[in-house]
Structure 1
Amino acid sequence: MAEYKIRDYRDSDYEVVRELFSHGMSEYVPSVCIHILKQPWVLFVLTCTFLILLCSAKSFILPIMAVTLLLALGRQILGYCWSMYIDHCLNEDLRDIQKTYMEAQGCHFWVADAEDSIVGTVAVKPSDENPEELILKRMSVRKDFRGLGIGKALSREVISFARRGRYKAVILNTLMVQVEAKNMYESVGFKKYLEYVMPTIYGKLINFTISKYRYDILPGS
């Protein structure tokens, strides 16, 4: 088992941290594609397209090619939209990590070191909805270092930070495809308290579900 340590973010970590976040988020594209393909209206459109072309062309080649083209086009569009989201994050709080997380009150950023490399990250900042709560953000663990307890260790670091700061809870958001992350958070003690579909046209179309979790800090704990 690889040994690792959790430490504070340093300016020299900047490029590696941003790259780790980008790669981690990009891994979800195939899972999101599968999620979209399972939506009834998507299956209906693909089936109707296939049957209509099959009846008109009286050949399997054209409908198969058309459905394949639709799937490839959808994959490209999703990849583009996902890349835009990643770029948005990189140009928002991850644009100046030092200023956003290491200098602002109630904020912090940690990295996990293993084998002379950064293999995990996590950040925390006060919630916009309730200043007495902290929101856990930018949790990411390199794929080849998962299953070693790094995600749990990073989560506990955030909880300890919240406890020292006398915050009442730590909250976080997860997407419907982040199954492993949900299991990890629950094993640490986070409880799901809300689940909703993203309130946008696209969110409703693909049933893009967000789950909110919280870890309550008990008084005197």
Structure 2
Amino acid sequence: MQGMCRKQYASSDTNRSDILIRHYRSQDEQRVKEIFSAGMLSLVPDAFLMICTKPVNVGVMATVGFIVAWLSKSVFATAMTEGVMMGLLYMFLRTAFGGYVSSSIQDDLSNIPKFYVENGGCFLVATDSSSGKIAGMVGAEPKGDNQFELRRMSVDQECQGRGVGRQLLRRLYQECKGAKILLTTSNIQHTAQRLYRNNGFVVKSKFPIFKEGWQAYLISIEINSFEIQL
């Protein structure tokens, strides 16, 4: 079947001088979950900075600060109020990202062979050829009609800058040759977006992560949909 992850690669690894790409094995489960969790939680500071620097939020903070200063006549009270507001925002983001990590671990990452391999997809890991330590991973989930969704692309922070993501994509292209690959990522994932653009993906649509309520007004995180036809 064209586009199906090709099983003949199951025991044939792709080598580079320092990076080895191979198929997922059961003993990789814990390390894969750790890399994914750390990668997602590392986005919290960037999300926090984006929200704090949004003009409407800067205006809200300034207004609240002015009101507290006027009522209390205290620099300390003003600083404490704004500090609490920023702390609550950071906790909200940390909880939201943590919730996404937990749901993902309980979803497809709870049984990678079932969700990816047994359905005709694949899940690849990149390892350091000298230590054998897993440096990154990516999955291709079948979506029917000769299409796959790229999921769980993540590279260990200690291994970034070594071309791990690029090597994973190249191997994934071999596995899914002739198919269309879709993916979604957020506008705070600058490194990931640059990787996808530099390797042939094009943006097809954009939409806000929150479409209504106070979150839509104050939080400008956006989801971008990419695709590539191999």
Compute the TM-score of the two structures, normalised by the length of structure 2.
0.86
2:167 is aligned with 1:156: no
Residue 37 of structure 1 corresponds to 52
User: Pick from 122, 125, 148: which aligns with 1:108?
Assistant: 122
User: Which has the bigger relative contact order, CA under 8 A and spacing at least 6?
Assistant: 2
Residue 212 of structure 2 corresponds to 201
Answer whether contact 1:136 1:158 (CA < 8 A) is retained: no
Inter-partner Cα distance in structure 2 for 1:125 and 1:137:
7
Q: Shift of residue 204 of structure 1?
A: 2.2
Q: CA RMSD in A?
A: 1.7
Residue 138 of structure 1 corresponds to 152
Q: Shift of residue 199 of structure 1?
A: 5.0
Correspondence 1:24-103 to 2 at 5 A: 24-103=39-118
Whichever residue aligns with residue 99 of structure 1, its letter is: K
Residue 213 of structure 1 corresponds to 226
Q: Shift of residue 208 of structure 1?
A: 2.0
Q: Shift of residue 64 of structure 1?
A: 0.8
Aligned residues: 211
Which sections of structure 2, spanning at least 5 residues, go unmatched? 1-15
Residue 7 of structure 1 corresponds to 22
Per-residue CA deviations over 1:48-71 (Å, capped at 9, x if unaligned) read 110011111222111011101111
Which sections of structure 1, spanning at least 5 residues, go unmatched? none
Q: Secondary structure at the match of 1:94?
A: helix
> Deviation above 4 Å: which 4+ runs of structure 1?
none
Answer whether contact 2:116 2:141 (CA < 8 A) is retained: yes
Q: Aligned residues: percent identity?
A: 26
Answer whether contact 1:101 1:109 (CA < 8 A) is retained: yes
Inter-partner Cα distance in structure 2 for 1:182 and 1:139:
11
Q: Secondary structure at the match of 1:177?
A: coil
Inter-partner Cα distance in structure 2 for 1:5 and 1:60:
57
Whichever residue aligns with residue 141 of structure 1, its letter is: V
Residue 124 of structure 1 corresponds to 140
